[in-house]
């Protein structure tokens, strides 16, 4: 499917991935509308700066940009956006993020990740959306230690409430695909990082602490590994998925069912860098990029955390030809440059 002339709605457009995707789509001369509730889970000024960056970016590109400040849990306000904009494609990235915060405020995850998700799906059904993409998470693999993770492995043992809501999203989206023929693609993101990143995630936390001479907490005494995925690789894959509509698997075997495809037009894919990087190696690279050593405090693993993530990307590669381009060294270098410039450090 060609994206030319398509109208694309991005939920969570002031977020890290949403803002990056908006800029990428504007390069393609597309009609893009974003919505976000600009909640205070992390720095609202950073979210507003991302929106300002999109607005400035849109002035120098052919695509059009508009933004609505609404909460996806508010069905009436959300419906108005669909009426006004009439999207063809919806990329649903809005969610209450954070594994650890889900231990403190689980109700926020019910409102956004379940009620809000269902509101979006209902409107996608009612407005005959031709392609629905939504954010899942590597956290759905939970207690599974069979690495690298493949989409057809079991994901029925989440170890955080956040992960449980993301797995719920996959199941709910599948039911809508089956009942209403809504083509849906779920993407399990693996530790996304880069410029304009989230302040609640390790790269931003570590960068701030290193520069400000504050100690960083290293959990599980450094025995942690993550499949760090650079933001530019993520958005390139998202754009390709926008142009490829999920279809039923003609070879689906109901006696040996797999979870990554279906008799319904629903697909689920990992999207990672296909490398599991030791946390201490990541910190070393960040120290080198910033030019300062970190003060380190080693602590036990936190509830809800997994020790290691590692994505098998073979299904996504087969689907859209996705191969991550950025090495961890390149990605950290670009991130550190942005961080120092944005926060006017040094």
Helix (H) or strand (E) holding 217: strand 215-219
Tell me the CA end-to-end span of the chain in Å, nearest whole number: 47
How many CA atoms within 13 Å lie on the side-chain side of 20?
21
**Token duo for residue 173:** 């989206």
Residue 297, number of CB atoms within 10 A of its CB: 10
Give catalytic residues, as residue numbers: 162
- Report how far residue 243's alpha carbon sits from residue 246's, in angstroms, rounded to the nearest whole number: 10
Largest CA distance in the chain: 61
- Report how far residue 21's alpha carbon sits from residue 93's, in angstroms, rounded to the nearest whole number: 10
Residue 220, number of CB atoms within 10 A of its CB: 17
Residue 74: is it exposed, middle or buried by C-beta count within 10 angstroms (0-12/13-18/19+)? Answer: middle
């Amino acid at each position: 499917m060609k994206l030319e002339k398509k109208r694309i709605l991005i939920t969570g457009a002031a977020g890290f991935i949403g803002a990056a995707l908006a800029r990428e789509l504007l390069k393609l001369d597309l009609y893009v509308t974003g919505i976000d509730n600009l909640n205070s889970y992390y720095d609202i000024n950073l979210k507003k700066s991302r929106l300002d960056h999109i607005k400035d970016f849109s002035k120098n590109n052919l695509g059009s940009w508009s933004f609505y400040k609404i909460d996806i849990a508010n069905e009436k306000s959300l419906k108005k956006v669909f009426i006004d904009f009439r999207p063809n494609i919806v990329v649903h990235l809005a969610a209450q993020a954070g594994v650890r915060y889900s231990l403190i405020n689980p109700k926020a995850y019910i409102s956004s990740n379940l009620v809000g998700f269902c509101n979006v799906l209902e409107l996608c059904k009612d407005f005959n959306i031709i392609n629905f993409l939504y954010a899942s998470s590597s956290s759905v693999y939970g207690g599974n230690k069979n690495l690298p993770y493949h989409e057809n492995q079991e994901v029925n043992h989440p170890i955080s409430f956040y992960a449980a809501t993301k797995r719920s999203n996959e199941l709910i989206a599948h039911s809508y695909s089956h009942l209403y023929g809504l083509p849906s693609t779920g993407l399990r993101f693996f530790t996304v990082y880069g410029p304009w990143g989230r302040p609640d995630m390790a790269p931003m936390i570590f960068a701030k602490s290193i520069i400000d001479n504050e100690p960083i907490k290293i959990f599980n005494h450094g025995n942690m590994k993550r499949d760090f995925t650079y933001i530019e690789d993520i958005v390139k894959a998202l754009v390709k998925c926008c142009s490829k509509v999920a279809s039923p698997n003609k070879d689906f075997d109901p006696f040996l069912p797999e979870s990554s495809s279906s008799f319904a037009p629903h697909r689920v894919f990992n999207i990672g860098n296909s490398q599991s990087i030791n946390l201490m190696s990541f910190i070393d690279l960040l120290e080198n990029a910033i030019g300062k050593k970190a003060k380190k405090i080693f602590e036990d693993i936190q509830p809800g955390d997994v020790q290691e993530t590692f994505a098998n990307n073979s299904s996504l590669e087969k689907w859209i030809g996705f191969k991550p381009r950025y090495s961890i060294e390149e990605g950290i270098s670009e991130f550190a440059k942005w961080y120092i410039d944005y926060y006017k450090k040094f």
